[in-house]
Amino acid sequence: MATTTCGYEAMRSGNTILCYINRDGLPLSDRCNERMWTFCMEQYPNNVTEIQTIRNQTDDSPLVTYPDPPYHVATNSRMTVREKLQQVQNYIQRLEYNYTGMQFFDINPNRSLYGLMDTARHMITESLPIKCFEAFLIGLYLTTGILGLDRFNISFKTRFNSVIYRHVILGVKYDQIYGALGISRRSDLSYKPLNGKYNCLSKLIDDFICAYRNYGHTVLRVRIGLPIIHDLKSFLTINWKALSIQPNKTDKNEYDRELDKIVRIWRQIDIHMTYRSVVPLASLVQPTGTLITSASVSNRLQSVTFRQNRDTSLNCRRSAIQKPTTNINEESSTEKDQSVPYAIRV
């Protein structure tokens, strides 16, 4: 649950406060700044004196260096896709993980891609320490335009000592090879290079699950979304819950089959399409909390058609622009207009 206070919001897991979210914007207001330092002392009661010394040290503070974002890495034809992803990950790492206990940016995951990418630009401008969700957005922003690269979210819900934790990374797929971008307190819970180690999605997920188990975490749920369109100005929203698996309650062979099914769905979706589809991508998935089955997938995909070429898109756009002529049968003409497919530039 989240408890809203003046200027910041506490994110809780039961009675445990995980962190605070800054609601006052930047620069930090006095109340958010005071809450950040107080929370740090509450988390580390044995280091209160050291924390006070750091807080009062203003004159001798080292100069802050801002890392240069790799804005043009996506269009650099001299670099391989693996090298481009390494550049993006290096930049994310140089921003450093946010250990302050105060998340500096207020992010709503239900916003459109355009709004989330605007927040990502703001984060790059400020160059402040970040958490996993902020690293996800920055990675999404900087990888937009890399031809042939599919990006999707992978989110984890784990339990450690009765406390629930959540983590999200940016999954990537290129030429049947999988990897991941992101940031975490643990190095093996963030970056996975495109080195050919993960030739299927199940191997990538298993690697994260094994890493969590090594740290004593129980993986309660893994959620995977649909690939995200390469368009910084799109008003589509990210599909976060295309597939949900519970590794602690499901046999490994069973959820491996489910992961293979979501990959087959991706192959039937034109991720790099310029125009919106008549049928929203959200209609491809089951309601929240249910697992995709082979029967439901096949039935849904049979009724969904995507525009595969330019001519079809142009015909749809022309038919949408043409205004119907007024005649006596207005009701029948209205019904025909509603059935006409449309295409909207995003």
E runs forming strands in the chain? 2-4, 8-13, 16-22, 102-103, 150-160, 163-174, 177-181, 218-224, 243-245
Question: What single-letter amino acid sits at 254?
Answer: E
334's tokens: 């209205």
How distant, in Å, are the alpha carbons of 58, 60, 66, 77, 105 from that of 63?
11, 9, 10, 35, 23
The 3-class SS string of 62-124 reads CCCCCCCCCCCCCCCCCCCHHHHHHHHHHHHHHHCECCCCEECCCCCCCCEHHHHHHHHHHHH
How distant, in Å, are the alpha carbons of 216, 320, 322 from that of 333?
64, 13, 13
Look at residues 87, 71, 171 and name the one whose alpha carbon lies nearest to residue 121. 71
Could you tell me whether strands 163-174 and 150-160 are parallel, antiparallel, or unpaired per DSSP bridges? antiparallel
101 φψ region: left (φ > 0), alpha (ψ -120 to 50), beta (else): left
232's tokens: 């910084």
Catalytic residues: 132, 167, 184
Identify the three-state secondary structure at position 15.
coil
The 3-class SS string of 289-318 reads CCCCCHHHHHHHHHCCCCCCCHHHHHHHHH
**DSSP 8-class letter at 26:** S
How distant, in Å, are the alpha carbons of 57, 74, 175, 208, 323 from that of 273?
53, 18, 18, 31, 26
Contact 93, 61 (CB under 8 A): no
